Every structure is written in structure tokens, then in C-alpha cells.
């Protein structure tokens, strides 16, 4: 069988992932509904005081985004692992890091991007000041891909485990800490007209670093899980 | 406020944790070897 | 064959490792006890109380070395994990997984002693300062590695997964530390620890003694755990059977 070019393989993988995602679109809505519900719980839990909500808004929205992402990560490689497709991918001779990257990109487009799109709604619920909204969207746009990239490593490590989902969240949450700190700081600063570009810049650097490094770690983890 | 109870508590807890961490493999090894010997003598008896 | 190369080659063999590390362990414990006894004597009895903090600064002689060890062990786990993954050396896998509980213990001690130090000095048991917060995240990283290892059925696969996780964690650790430190300055937290204009020599010596002592503790505990793991993993193999019959005679 002739080796396809890397680009063709990448596109083929993306198309397959979108097709599969479309077929289970109800399942994909679950983490997003979870996101909405979690954010709703906060005013119910801490009281609807506008100033309090505005204060905690960046943190609450970002933590809810973390939780929702982790929910969607568990199934990232699982079904392909279970039916043997993952093994075939490893044997295919295409770069495993590329396959991991394709899967991660698909995951972000299907799970992370909707979070970015839902954020104005969440910002409204949490009474985030208008000055913070644009930066919230930007921080999520830069940050959610990082969540997918790092989360894919955890997903690959736990894919062969029966109760992998819980362990996955424990593994990736410490790794998410810097991102959480930078993102919430950016949004909080923007909301009170303080400088925020430094934080966004660091997040961008983190995105580039994850983009170049994480797929290799994910590939190593996949090979490990399949061994 | 006297600082002594805090110092004592800190070193006591530290000692307990370090002692437990040091002893755990030792005790585990002993029970493992005991299990192994029991299994072997049982196997020898049944043969 | 070059003797150094031969030495490293031999350490990769489980029976060789088991035998010679067993001889080393008592010495490591002995050195640990001597250094710790002297260090504690100097720190608790001889050294002066701090000008600002009073007697509670004596907790530093346990807190700071524990914190140093918690980070050093994680770094070592990452390095050994890298060697284990790249060169597939089984002993390295065993050493990685044997280090994790020791590192977690030191992290827990650093957190608890830090908390107890904070209460008389700053009035509160917990404060979200940079160092304590980073230590807490580090504890979670340790738990993650340990839980990941225990989730797998097959020991070598489990050890390799744990190795990969410690490498990923170690790469992130400086980033986590700096981001938490930066976060702390944002929120004007109070900082823990007496990093004043330089530490008094009478306090430095016990600190260094305790720091060195903890390294010997780690060595002794690590080798003890590694030997047990090898014994358990290889209990069907010939060298273990021979060892058991040897010991019972």
C-alpha cells in the first residue's frame, strides 16, 4: 500500500474525526451542558450579588471550562483503542505524533471551540464587566487548545485503563494550573482596565510550546498504552 | 503564644511520617517472604 | 571491557543490584542518623532563635530540607524516567516508581511543617503563598504518578507510564512554580520562610546538615523499596528462589 503524504493523512484523519463526532453529536453536547450547569451553580451557591459574581467571574468560567474539557477528553482515544483502530494507526507508518495532533485538533474544534463560543453567555451570567469580555474570549481561544493538547497526553496515558476518566482529571489538573493563573489574571486585569497583554503573550507562548511538544508526548503515551 | 507545641508537633509528625515511610517496605518485605514460604511449603506438601 | 561500562551494565542486572544495594543500605542509614542527630542538635539546641520569628524558626531545619527533597526527587524521577523510557532499563523503571512515595512523604512533611510554622509566626495555619501552593500542586503531581502506576495491571507498563507522567510533570514544574509565584505577588499574599538579608552561619550549618541527611534517607529508603519491588516482580525467577533457599539455611 502506498504511503500517503503527511498532509493528505492529516486531512483524512480530521475528516474521519468530524464524521465520527457528527454521528455522536448528542454525546458531545454533554460537556457543554455541563459547562452551562456548573456556571449556573455558582450564583446559586454564593448568592447573586453582582459585585461578588463579577469578582469571581474569570475564575469560575475558566474552572468550568477546565472541568468540561476534562469530561470530553476521556473519550478522546477510547473508542479507537477499543475497536483496534488505534493499533492500525500506529502500524500505518504515519508519524504517530501527527496522528495525535490531528486528533487533538479535531477535539478542540468539537469541544474547545464551542466553549469559546458560549463564553459571552457565561460572561453575562457571571456579570463580567464588558471590558473583560473580549479578553475572556481571547483567553479561551488561546487557552482551550492548550487544554486539548495537554489533555491528550493524559487521555493517551489512561486510555487502556478501565476507570481512566477520573485518573485523567487528576493527572492533568496540576498541569493546567499555570494556564488557569495566567488566563484569569488576564481577564481580571482587563475588567478593571489594567494591562493584560503580558499574560496573553505568555499564554500564546505556552500554546506554541504545547503545539510543538505535546503531540510527541501523546504519541509516546499511545505507544505505551498499546504495548 | 508559645512556639514550643508547634515545633514539637512539626518534628513529631515529621518523624512519624519518615519512620513510617522507612518501615513500610521492610514490613511489606517480611510479610511477602512469609507468604512465599507458606506457599512453597504448601506446594511441597501436596507433591 | 571498560570497567565503568561494565559497572553500569552490572547494575542493570536485578540479582547484582539486589545484592550490592543490600550491602549499601545499612551504611546509608547510619550516615543519615549521624548527620540528622548532629544537625538536629545544632538546630534545636545550639542555634539561636530568630530575631523576628522567635523559636518557631527551628521548624525550618525540617521544613526546608523536606521541600528541597520533594523537588529534587521529582527531578530525579524525571531523569530516571527518561533513561528508563529511552534505553528500556528495567532497574531505572523500578527506581522511578520506588522514589515516588518517598518524594510524596517529603512533600507532605514540607506542607505540614510549613503550616505549623505559619500558625505561631503569621497567625494562620494555611496561607496561599507561592511556596506552599506550589508544594501542594507538587503533592498532587506525586499522587497522580502513584495512582497512575497502580492503575495498570502489568508492572513494566505501569512503570513506563509513571515515567512518562513524571517527565511531563517535571517539565511543567518550573512553569507551575513561576506562575504560582507570580500569582502570589498579584494577590499580595504574605510570604513564608525567613529569606532575609542572608542566613546566619549558626543556622546555615544545621540546615545543610539536615539537607545532606535527607539525601541519605532518600538513598536508603529508595534502595530498600527498589529491592522489595524487584523481589516481588521476580519471585518466580531463579535468582529469587536461590536467594530464599540460601537465606533459610
Judged against a pLDDT cut of 80, whether residue A126 lies above it is answered with yes
Report pLDDT for C99. Answer: 97
Query: Does residue A167 fall inside a structural domain?
Result: yes
Give the minimum alpha-carbon distance from C148 to chain A in angstroms, rounded to a whole number: 7
- Give me the residues paired with residue C54 across strands: C50
pLDDT in tens, A188-225: 999 988 999 999 999 999 999 999 999 999 999 999 99
Beta bridge partners of C50: C54
ipTM of the complex: 0.88
C41 CA to centre of own chain: 23
Note whether residue C36 is domain-resident: no
Q: Chain C interface residues facing chain B, Cβ-Cβ under 8 Å?
A: 40, 44, 54-56, 58-59, 62-63, 66, 101-102, 105, 108-109, 112-113, 116-117, 119-120, 217, 220-221, 224-225, 227-228, 231-232, 235, 244, 248
Please check whether residue A62 lies inside any domain of the structure: yes
Res. B28: pLDDT tops 80? yes
Contact (CB<8Å) B37/C248 = yes
Tell me the average pLDDT of chain B: 90
Q: Is residue C219 part of a domain?
A: yes
Show the domain range for A192: 6-226
Smallest Cα distance from A23 to chain C, Å: 31
Q: How sure is the predictor about C1, in pLDDT bands with cuts at 50, 70 and 90? A: low
Is the four-CA dihedral A159, A164, A168, A169 of positive or negative sign?
A: positive
Q: Compute the C-alpha angle C69/C73/C75, nearest 5°.
A: 120
If you average pLDDT over residues B10-38, what whole number do you get? 93
Q: What is the pLDDT of residue A147?
A: 97
What is the average pLDDT across C42-62?
A: 83
pLDDT in tens, A34-73: 999 999 999 999 998 999 999 999 999 999 999 999 999 9
Nearest CA in chain B to C118: B6
Count Cβ atoms within 10 A of the Cβ of residue C198 and give its class: 0-12 exposed, 13-18 middle, 19 or more buried: exposed
CB B23 within 8 A of CB C101: no
pLDDT for C190 equals: 45
pLDDT single digits (tens) C156-214 = 999 999 999 999 999 999 998 888 888 887 775 444 444 544 677 788 899 999 999 99
Residue A1 covered by a domain:
no
For chain B, give the percent of residues with pLDDT over 90: 55
Domain that holds residue C154: 58-247
The span from the CA of C244 to the CA of A154, in Å, is 41
Query: What average pLDDT does this structure show over B5-26?
Result: 94
Q: How many domains does chain A have?
A: 1
Q: Do C140 and A173 touch (CB under 8 A)?
A: yes
| Residue C207 belongs to a domain | yes
Position C192 scores a pLDDT of 46
* Structural domains of chain C, count: 1
Residue C129 and residue C192 in contact, taking contact as beta carbons nearer than 8 Å: yes
H helices present in chain A, as ranges: 6-23, 25-46, 50-73, 78-82, 85-91, 96-107, 113-125, 130-158, 164-191, 197-226
Q: What's the mean per-residue pLDDT of chain A? A: 91
Lowest-confidence segment of A71-80, C3-12, C163-172, C227-236 by average pLDDT: C3-12
Q: Is the pLDDT of residue C128 over 90?
A: no
Q: Which of B2, B21, B32 sits opposite C105 (nearest CB)?
A: B21
* The predicted structure's pLDDT at residue C248: 63
Structure letter (DSSP) for residue C45: I
Mean pLDDT score of chain C: 88
In a domain, A114, yes or no: yes
Q: Tell me whether C37 touches chain A (CB under 8 Å).
A: no
Which residue of chain B is at minimal alpha-carbon distance from C104? B21
Distance of residue A181 Cα from the nearest chain C Cα, in angstroms: 7
Question: What's the mean pLDDT in C129-133?
Answer: 84
- pLDDT tops 90 at residue A112: yes
| Chain-chain contact of C144 with A171 (C-beta, under 8 angstroms) | yes
- Residue C195 is classified by DSSP as -
Report the residue of A146, A157, A165 to disrupt the C interface, i.e. the one with the largest count of C CBs within 10 Å.
A157
Sequence-separated (6 or more) residues with CB below 8 Å from residue C86: none
Model confidence pLDDT, tens digit, residues C73-116: 999 999 999 999 999 899 999 999 999 999 999 999 999 999 99
Of A171, A173, A178, the CB nearest to C165: A171
- Can you give the pLDDT at residue A4? 67
Higher pLDDT, B46 or C70: C70
Q: Which of B10, B17, B22 sits opposite C108 (nearest CB)?
A: B17
Q: What's residue C191's pLDDT?
A: 47
Q: Are C113 and B10 in contact (CB under 8 A)?
A: yes
For residue A57, tell me if it sits in a domain.
yes
Task: State the Cα–Cα distance between residues B42 and C102, nearest whole angstrom.
Answer: 36
Q: Are A77 and A106 in contact (CB under 8 A)?
A: no
> Looking at the domain assignment, is residue C210 inside a domain?
yes
pLDDT of res. A25:
82
CB proximity A117 to C under 8 Å: no
Q: What is the 3-state secondary structure (H, E, C) of chain B?
A: CCCHHHHHHHHHHHHHHHHHHHHHHHHHHHHHHHHHHHHHHHHHHHC
Domain membership flag for residue C16 = no
Of B1, B25, B33, the CB nearest to C224: B25
At residue A1, does pLDDT exceed 60?
no
pTM for the full predicted model: 0.89
pLDDT attached to residue C241: 84
Name the interface residues of B facing C (CB cutoff 8 Å).
1-4, 6-7, 9-11, 13-14, 17-18, 21-22, 24-26, 28-29, 32-33, 36-37, 40
Q: Do A53 and A126 touch, CB atoms closer than 8 A?
A: yes
Amino acid at each position: 500500500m502506498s504511503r500517503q503524504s503527511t498532509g493528505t493523512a492529516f486531512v483524512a484523519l480530521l475528516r474521519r474525526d468530524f464524521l465520527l463526532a457528527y454521528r455522536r453529536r448528542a454525546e458531545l453536547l454533554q460537556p457543554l451542558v455541563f459547562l452551562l450547569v456548573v456556571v449556573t451553580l455558582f450564583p446559586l451557591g454564593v448568592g447573586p450579588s453582582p459585585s461578588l459574581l463579577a469578582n469571581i467571574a474569570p475564575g469560575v468560567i475558566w474552572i468550568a471550562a477546565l472541568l468540561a474539557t476534562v469530561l470530553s477528553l476521556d473519550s478522546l482515544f477510547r473508542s479507537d483503542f477499543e475497536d483496534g483502530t488505534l493499533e492500525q494507526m500506529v502500524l500505518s507508518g504515519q508519524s504517530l505524533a501527527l496522528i495525535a495532533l490531528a486528533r487533538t485538533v479535531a477535539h478542540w474544534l468539537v469541544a474547545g471551540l464551542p466553549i469559546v463560543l458560549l463564553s459571552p453567555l457565561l460572561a453575562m451570567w457571571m456579570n463580567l464587566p464588558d471590558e473583560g469580555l473580549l479578553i475572556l474570549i481571547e483567553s479561551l481561544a488561546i487557552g482551550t487548545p492548550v487544554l486539548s493538547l495537554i489533555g491528550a497526553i493524559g487521555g493517551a496515558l489512561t486510555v487502556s485503563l478501565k476507570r481512566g476518566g477520573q485518573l485523567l482529571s487528576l493527572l492533568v489538573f496540576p498541569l493546567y494550573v499555570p494556564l488557569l493563573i495566567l488566563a484569569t489574571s488576564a481577564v481580571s486585569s482587563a475588567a478593571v482596565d489594567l494591562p493584560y497583554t503580558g499574560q496573553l503573550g505568555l499564554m500564546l507562548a505556552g500554546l506554541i510550546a504545547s503545539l510543538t511538544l505535546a503531540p510527541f508526548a501523546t504519541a509516546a503515551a499511545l505507544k505505551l498504552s498499546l504495548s | 503564644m508559645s512556639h514550643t507545641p508547634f515545633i514539637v508537633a512539626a518534628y513529631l509528625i515529621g518523624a512519624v511520617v519518615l519512620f513510617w515511610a522507612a518501615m513500610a517496605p521492610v514490613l511489606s518485605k517480611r510479610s511477602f517472604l512469609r507468604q512465599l514460604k507458606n506457599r512453597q511449603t504448601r506446594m511441597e506438601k501436596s507433591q | 571491557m571498560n570497567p565503568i561500562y561494565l559497572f553500569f551494565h552490572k547494575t542493570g542486572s536485578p540479582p547484582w543490584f539486589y545484592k550490592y544495594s543490600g550491602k549499601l543500605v545499612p551504611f546509608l542509614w547510619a550516615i543519615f542518623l549521624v548527620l540528622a542527630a548532629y544537625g538536629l542538635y545544632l538546630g534545636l539546641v545550639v542555634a539561636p532563635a530568630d530575631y523576628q520569628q522567635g523559636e518557631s524558626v527551628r521548624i525550618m531545619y525540617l521544613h526546608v530540607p523536606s521541600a528541597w527533597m520533594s523537588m529534587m526527587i521529582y527531578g530525579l524521577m524525571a531523569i530516571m524516567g527518561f533513561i528508563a523510557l529511552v534505553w528500556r532499563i528495567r532497574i531505572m523503571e523500578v527506581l522511578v516508581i520506588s522514589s515516588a512515595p518517598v518524594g510524596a512523604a517529603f512533600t507532605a512533611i514540607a506542607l505540614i511543617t510549613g503550616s505549623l510554622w505559619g500558625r505561631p509566626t503569621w497567625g494562620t495555619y494555611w496561607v496561599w503563598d507561592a511556596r506552599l501552593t506550589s508544594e501542594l500542586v507538587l503533592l498532587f503531581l506525586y499522587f497522580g504518578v502513584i495512582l497512575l502506576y497502580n492503575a495498570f495491571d502489568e508492572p513494566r507498563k505501569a512503570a513506563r507510564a509513571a515515567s512518562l507522567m513524571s517527565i511531563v510533570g517535571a517539565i511543567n514544574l518550573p512553569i507551575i512554580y513561576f506562575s504560582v509565584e507570580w500569582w502570589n505577588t498579584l494577590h499580595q499574599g504574605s510570604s513564608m520562610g525567613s529569606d532575609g538579608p542572608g542566613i546566619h552561619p549558626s543556622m546555615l550549618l544545621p540546615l545543610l546538615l539536615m539537607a545532606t541527611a535527607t539525601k541519605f534517607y532518600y538513598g536508603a529508603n529508595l534502595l530498600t523499596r527498589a529491592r522489595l519491588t524487584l523481589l516481588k516482580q521476580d519471585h518466580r525467577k531463579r535468582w529469587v528462589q536461590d536467594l530464599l533457599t540460601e537465606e533459610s539455611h
